[in-house]
Amino acid sequence: MSFDLVLFGGTGDLAWRKLMPALFQAFRHGKLPAGGRILAVARDARSDDEYRALIQARFVEVESAKRPSDEEFGRFAALLHYRRMDLSQPADYAGLKRWLDGRSADTVVMYLATSPHLFPVVCAQLGAAGLNGAHVRVVLEKPLGHDLASAREINRVVGSAFGEHQALRIDHYLGKPSVQNLSALRFGNALFEPLWRRESIANIQITLAEAIGVGTRGDFYDRTGALRDMVQNHALQLLTMIAMEPPPTHDADAIRDEKLKVLKSLKAFTAESVARDVVRGQYRAGTVDGKAASGYLDEAKVPADSTTETFVALRTEVQNWRWAGVPFFLRTGKRLAARHAQIVVNFRPVPHPIFPGSTRANKLVIKLQPEDGLELHLLAAKGAGQGDWLAPVFLDLDFDKAFAAERVGAYERLLLDAIAGRLNLFVRSDEQEQAWRWIEPVLQAWADDPSPPRPYAAGTWGPPAASAMIARDGCVWDEEQ
């Protein structure tokens, strides 16, 4: 199958940092279909060879095991081409069409790694130039909108040029092997399904913690905040995968239909429940990994009086028969104590304890990163004697170790899926809009409330109010247990 991948924003940050290294890995693993061409598009004039030299120079920033030798890069570079385009000029799209028509690939992927404000213009121009045939797919990177109205507007313009099955919205979390493993865990095993419901589960905690701050992205981040940056997309996608009903098949739409139902079942926020069930925080100076870290307000390109949240913790419920009354706690933030993404499923305690002492219940810890694994926490008899019956132990599975050879990175997986037309790991427009619809009352309540986010020291687990919020349900965050 021949393909052409057109990379709009070919000299941008995403192209350098994520897409080129991922394409090279796919090439090295022999997974990139033969007969492919990668065309980077950007504003400046440069030759193919100049572009190749730029890419090769950037590979020094990639971890050494994933860096090509000169010989490997030479073979990879043969796929790379460059084209100067002014994205507002119809003539430049006509030129692109001539280049593509020169050999009529089976599949053309238009990857929009540009600033999102260009999505409407690029999609409209691609449509007008006839670059939207059935063999063309368009890949859109987040942020897809700023709120429901802007997301809908993007979807409307994209939809006027491309059908839903041609529009691939990336949530890179869905490409992570550990996240795909959530479906395998739930729907490839019969073991957990009878327990996966309100009768057995006390609460579920989803934590996406980062140790890094906002780095050089202060201006973008300050307009965005943690709710839009991490909750509306990554955290909610994880929640849907944990809470969804078993789909009838593994087809993209069967899965996305079930995920959409979860999003529609989320308890709607009101101004009152936002005040009670959502905590927003902002980091102050502190210590992360033994090093001094400055506060958010001192970061480059962040206004000194910013009220943008760098931390969110919230409580929600999935209002259906399976989950009624079970609290789902989501939490994400920058400059927290560690880079650490995990889902903890806390089971209910035994209905009638006969062993003295321990009140601990079982829990399943699904570790997403940096480790990719599973811990099943049980209680066992230590045999130590009277009054000291039970001790916590856990079964520990390390998927990185078990599948070391097969694992591929998120972008590699998503790029290969985009080329092959596998849509399972891409977000459908109705899912994306429903996620915006659900967080809008939170955005509104914050806009109406002049109080600033709660401060927390860099290197901690966020403001104490996040622990107080979950304590109202008699729960504690996993690291406090």
What minimum distance in Å lies between the beta carbon of 93 and ligand BG6?
A: 29
Number of residues that bind ligand BG6 (CB under 6 A): 2
Minimal distance in Å, beta carbon 346 to ligand BG6?
Answer: 23
Residue 244: closest CA among 255, 229, 232: 255
User: Which residue, 229 or 299, has its beta carbon nearer to ligand BG6?
Assistant: 229
CA gap 279, 277 in Å, rounded: 7
Q: Which residues contact 296 (CB under 8 A, 6 or more apart)?
A: 213, 214, 282, 283, 284, 302, 306, 308, 310, 334, 335
Residue 462 per-residue DSSP state? S
Residue 469 Cβ, how far from ligand BG6 at the closest point, in Å? 23
Query: By CB under 6 A, what part of segment 386-425 binds ligand BG6?
Result: none
Contacts (CB under 6 A) with ligand BG6, residues 7-66: none
Cβ 210 to ligand BG6 shortest distance, Å: 6
Cα angle for residues 289, 293, 296 (degrees, 5° grid): 130
Nearer to ligand BG6, 232 or 362 (CB): 232
Which residue among 141, 229, 277, 433 contacts ligand BG6 (CB under 6 A)?
229
Cβ 409 to ligand BG6 shortest distance, Å: 10
Catalytic pick from 81, 234, 340, 377? Answer: 234
Tokens at 357, concatenated: 């002492």
Minimum CB distance to ligand BG6 smaller for 42 or for 227: 227
Q: How many Cβ atoms are within 10 Å of 360's Cβ, its own excluded?
A: 14
Where do runs of H (alpha helix) occur along 383-427? 399-402, 410-420
Q: Least distance in Å: CB of 97 to ligand BG6?
A: 32
Cα separation of 21 and 41, whole Å?
Answer: 17
146 is catalytic: no
Q: Would you say 229 or 372 has its CB closer to ligand BG6?
A: 229
What is the rounded CA–CA span in Å between residue 275 and residue 18?
38
Shortest approach of ligand BG6 to residue 339 CB, angstroms?
Answer: 8
The reply on whether position 210 binds ligand BG6 by CB under 6 A is yes
309 counts as binding ligand BG6 under rule CB under 6 A:
no
Contacts of 266 (CB under 8 A, 6+ apart): 316, 317, 318, 319, 438
Nearest to 236 by CA among 213, 259, 218: 259
Alpha-carbon span 461 to 93, nearest angstrom? 49
Contact indicator for 207, 470 with CB cutoff of 8 Å:
no
Determine the 3-state secondary structure of 2 from DSSP: coil
- Report CA dihedral (222, 432, 280, 448) to the nearest 10 degrees: 80
Please identify, using beta-carbon distances, which residue of 108 and 227 lies nearer to ligand BG6: 227
d(CA 425, CA 252): 8
E strands of 12-156, at which residues?
A: 36-42, 80-84, 107-112, 136-140
Q: Which residue is nearest to ligand BG6, using beta carbons? A: 229
431 in contact with ligand BG6 (CB under 6 A): no
Residue 74 beta carbon to ligand BG6: minimum distance, rounded to whole angstroms: 30
Closer CB to ligand BG6, residue 210 or residue 372?
Answer: 210
Choice between 18 and 363, CB closer to ligand BG6: 18
Q: Which two tokens stand for residue 299?
A: 């970061």
Burial class of residue 204 (count of CB atoms within 10 Å of its CB; 0-12, 13-18, 19+) = buried
Least Å from the CB of residue 315 to ligand BG6: 22
Q: Which is nearer to ligand BG6, 90 or 215 (CB)?
A: 215
N residues, the chain: 481
Nearest Cα to Cα of residue 467 among 279, 274, 332: 279
314 forms bridges with which residues in the sheet?
278, 330
* Binding track, positions 57-76, relative to ligand BG6; x by CB under 6 A: --------------------
Residue number, 118 or 378, with CB nearest to ligand BG6 = 118
Closest by Cα among 11, 16, 12 to 411: 16
- Distance of CA 140 to CAs 118, 304, 393, 426, Å? 11, 32, 44, 10
| 132 within 8 A of 166, measured Cβ to Cβ | yes
Residues that bind ligand BG6 (CB under 6 A): 210, 229
Residues with active-site annotation: 234
